[in-house]
Structure 1
Amino acid sequence: MYQISELAAKVGLSRTAILYYEKQGLISGHRLENGYRVYSDNDLQRVRLIQRLQAGGLTLQECKVCLEAKVDKQLLRNRLKALDEEIARKQQSRLLLTAMLGEGDLKAWHQSLETVAPDAHLDWLIKQGFSEKEALRLRWLSKDMNEHDLYMADFMKVFETLERWGPGSEEDTRKALSLVPKAPRTILEVGCGKGLATTVLVEQSEAKITVIDNEQSALNQVIQRFKPEVISDRLETICASMTDLPFSNKSFDLIWAEGCAYIMGIEKALAEWKPVLREQGYLVISDMVWRTQTPSSEPIAFWKQAYPDIQCVQTRLKQMEKAGYQVIEHFPQSETARLNYYTPLSERVAELEPSMPSSAALKDIKHEVNVCTQFAEEFGYHMFILMKA
């Protein structure tokens, strides 16, 4: 016979737990004449059996059912399913923690956050010590904060000799500018890159032009494209973020943004850039869109990771009107614009592959080239000419 304290010590439970087991009818102690409660060896073994059953995820009530009748196999199957699901969640938790410690791949986690909480994701990256520029690059390029520096070093190596950092053509830029109903006096070009569109804006307008980019090396190349008198008289370069424009409201007649607004999100760009435009000012913006209602599985998988917010043209038009813009005109970017970018990029990848066989950045760029070549008719950049309503 065991007193309650003895039984509790043997099974590793508290006196309160033993009394609760007795109250639930799982064990049956009795009181001696001296007032002490005692339990039999049978009670000890039942408690140990219950503990084994609980280790399988059963509740006390379910343990009682198993003790008093034939085991309910469906109950066990349900518990097994729940346990498997819990193990899977725990395994995901472990993988995340090891990845955040630099011992695993964070790419899938960053991609999932970009889909469900893009703004919170960006804020969190900045709190981890990344500048906004690096955080944005991590979101769209490396997608792994542990490997970001190496990834970006390889990425920049690929693009350092290329003139274009995205699809485009002077012809498309001229066409879009010609569709702006009123000649602008002031233009803000967002995400100017190396200044290819800037050149057209300077040549085809008489406006004073301010260009911004968060990459100073790109702005340096913009400056090299023009004579000093153009820089001093008509063109100003500013290293700044498109997410926080350093200008007062109603500063520009026209905002020009080719192939860059996706970085902060089209809807966010439409809202946050609008105050900088003068009344009935214009916005020319381009964005990657679906050109078919039934895209193939491979480009769907690619853009789900590379640009989860890719939409069809009609969806973008509705978003633009909802944001307070009148759509003046829109047209698909030309095949020439695509080839201007992907042909030299493909050649550059082939050139570097022998010396960078294990580069994740080069592998991703090669995959993009292949998808955007093989399925070129299914998606592409689209130019939108808008007026602030």
Structure 2
Amino acid sequence: MRGLSSVYRISELAEKVGLSRSALLYYESKDLLRGVRQTNGYRMYTEKDVQQVHLLRQLQAGGLTLKECRLVLDSKVQRSVLERRMQQLDNEIAQKQEARTLLAALLGQGSLRQWHQQTDKLAPDAHLDWLKQQGFNEQQALHLKWLSKDMNEHDQYMTDFMKVFEPLDRWGPGCDFDSLKALSKLPTSPTKIIDIGCGKGFSTRLLAQHTQAQIVAVDNEQSALDQLSDCLVEQQLDGQVTLSCASMTELPFAPKSFNCIWAESSAYIMGVEQALCQWRKLLADGGFMVVSDLVWLTDTPDSEAVEFWKGEYPDMQTVERRLDQIRQAGFFLIDHFTLSEQAWDNYYLPLEARIGKLKNSMPSSNAIADIEHEIAIYKRNQGDFGYQMFILQRRS
């Protein structure tokens, strides 16, 4: 057994301390190890060097960088160096914990809600494409983006959601008075209308009753179209309306096929700016578009409402901002107005009653909890936000 006077070549030292030769040479280049070169060209190291390497590795185990290790080895330990490094390590641990939490959620071992919300805000189109790559069709991906916000819980969430909404007539705020008011603002009566995101067809039926137009009603929810079909037959309006189960992002119609686009409470699904630009191609020169969107009605909304809609509708804008986007998309503004309180009552009152019937039998439903939260936000912050109806004309 060698004593303190023993000497080692670098390969022997490497074997003794369990490091590679190149690692020791790197330590030496940083002046953390000082071998003595012999006349034969070999570097020689003593037992003191062995212990220096062991001490160095112990300091590194505390998270110190090699530069910090040198400071600690050459002088009295400075608390500021250790405190700074500990704070950096705490930050790194927090980041790694976030990464682990995300990986666990992607493996189905936690909630992905916050991640989906953040991703959709930062990269909505890429997020949608990624969801499709995970096996969701477009309808499912859109429902996930806007409703469940967690692909691990999506199926159960949508089962609960549809159980709530299926028997209800309206799936969003609206009323006949507001729709007819918008129709009355058009300078001429349209003859070819496409109703995009028609749902169960309240606006479709009104347009058929109050115009002579041929109407195409589009939605990607076949069950809603089936109910609309029954209503059209019952009201003898089926000869005036064609139903189309299609995505609003890939409408199967030729350019300039219509002289009016109608879209109540649906453009947000693909993004209002994108909808304005993409749907404009379907309009004949001088054609009209009637579109409603949820907007801020004040420049100083309550912080509770802001925080809520930041997660539910990140692209929510003021009326003035939407008007700027409308002009930039190539439209004249004919008129605009805020939907009446009746439009909200038509939606929330039946919805609230439906929740009351189901809640006791579905106590752990995230879908019901989300709906209740939205209704509460509306009640506490009426006047801060609302649906705005925009009546537009395409510029040539």
Normalised to the residue count of structure 2, the TM-score between the two structures is 0.95
Query: What residue in structure 2 maps to residue 58 of structure 1?
Result: 64
Query: What residue in structure 2 maps to residue 123 of structure 1?
Result: 129
SS at match of 1:171: helix
Query: What residue in structure 2 maps to residue 161 of structure 1?
Result: 167
How far apart, CA to CA, are the structure 2 residues paired with 1:181 and 1:56?
Answer: 76
How far apart, CA to CA, are the structure 1 residues paired with 2:294 and 2:179?
Answer: 16
User: How far is the alpha carbon of 1:124 from its aligned partner?
Assistant: 0.3
Among 283, 290, 295, the alignment partner of 1:277 is 283
Checking the alignment, whether the CA contact within 8 Å between 1:345 and 1:369 is kept in structure 2 is no
What amino acid is aligned across from residue 186 of structure 2 in structure 1? V
SS at match of 2:146: helix
Checking the alignment, whether the CA contact within 8 Å between 1:289 and 1:380 is kept in structure 2 is yes
Query: What residue in structure 2 maps to residue 223 of structure 1?
Result: 229
Among 223, 236, 242, the alignment partner of 2:242 is 236
Among 375, 378, 384, the alignment partner of 2:390 is 384
Among 95, 105, 112, the alignment partner of 1:106 is 112
Query: What residue in structure 2 maps to residue 254 of structure 1?
Result: 260
Among 14, 21, 42, the alignment partner of 1:15 is 21
Query: What residue in structure 2 maps to residue 67 of structure 1?
Result: 73
Cα deviation digits, residues 137-163 of structure 1 (max 9, x gap): 000000000110000000000011111
CA separation of 1:351 and 1:232: change in aligned 2, threshold 3 A: closer
| Between 325-334 and 48-57, the greater mean CA deviation after superposition | 48-57
Query: What residue in structure 2 maps to residue 48 of structure 1?
Result: 54
Checking the alignment, whether the CA contact within 8 Å between 2:205 and 2:237 is kept in structure 1 is no
How far apart, CA to CA, are the structure 1 residues paired with 2:37 and 2:291?
Answer: 85
Cα deviation digits, residues 151-176 of structure 1 (max 9, x gap): 00000000111110000000000000
Cα deviation digits, residues 103-138 of structure 1 (max 9, x gap): 110000000011100000000000000000000000
Among 172, 176, 179, the alignment partner of 2:178 is 172
CA separation of 1:368 and 1:232: change in aligned 2, threshold 3 A: closer
Normalised to the residue count of structure 1, the TM-score between the two structures is 0.97
Checking the alignment, whether the CA contact within 8 Å between 1:282 and 1:385 is kept in structure 2 is yes
Cα deviation digits, residues 290-319 of structure 1 (max 9, x gap): 111111121111101110111110010011
What amino acid is aligned across from residue 383 of structure 1 in structure 2? M
Among 171, 183, 192, the alignment partner of 2:189 is 183
Among 142, 148, 157, the alignment partner of 2:148 is 142
Among 340, 345, 353, the alignment partner of 1:339 is 345
1:366 maps onto 2:372 in alignment: yes
SS at match of 2:332: strand
Identity of aligned residues (%): 53
User: How far is the alpha carbon of 1:11 from its aligned partner?
Assistant: 2.1
Checking the alignment, whether the CA contact within 8 Å between 1:223 and 1:231 is kept in structure 2 is no
CA separation of 1:194 and 1:250: change in aligned 2, threshold 3 A: same
| Between 231-240 and 377-386, the greater mean CA deviation after superposition | 231-240
| Between 351-360 and 81-90, the greater mean CA deviation after superposition | 81-90
User: How far is the alpha carbon of 1:182 from its aligned partner?
Assistant: 1.5
Aligned residues: 389
CA separation of 1:331 and 1:232: change in aligned 2, threshold 3 A: closer
What amino acid is aligned across from residue 199 of structure 2 in structure 1? G
How far apart, CA to CA, are the structure 2 residues paired with 1:107 and 1:167?
Answer: 25
CA RMSD in angstroms, aligned pairs only: 1.5
Unaligned runs of 5+ in 1: none
How far apart, CA to CA, are the structure 2 residues paired with 1:16 and 1:104?
Answer: 43
Checking the alignment, whether the CA contact within 8 Å between 2:336 and 2:391 is kept in structure 1 is yes
| Between 120-129 and 372-381, the greater mean CA deviation after superposition | 372-381
Checking the alignment, whether the CA contact within 8 Å between 2:176 and 2:203 is kept in structure 1 is yes
CA separation of 1:290 and 1:23: change in aligned 2, threshold 3 A: closer
| Between 354-363 and 82-91, the greater mean CA deviation after superposition | 82-91
User: How far is the alpha carbon of 1:58 from its aligned partner?
Assistant: 2.6
Checking the alignment, whether the CA contact within 8 Å between 2:232 and 2:238 is kept in structure 1 is no
What amino acid is aligned across from residue 264 of structure 1 in structure 2? M
How far apart, CA to CA, are the structure 1 residues paired with 2:104 and 2:363?
Answer: 26
How far apart, CA to CA, are the structure 2 residues paired with 1:351 and 1:227?
Answer: 31
How far apart, CA to CA, are the structure 1 residues paired with 2:61 and 2:333?
Answer: 64
SS at match of 1:331: strand
Checking the alignment, whether the CA contact within 8 Å between 1:214 and 1:240 is kept in structure 2 is yes
Cα deviation digits, residues 257-312 of structure 1 (max 9, x gap): 00011011100101110100110111100000111111112111110111011111
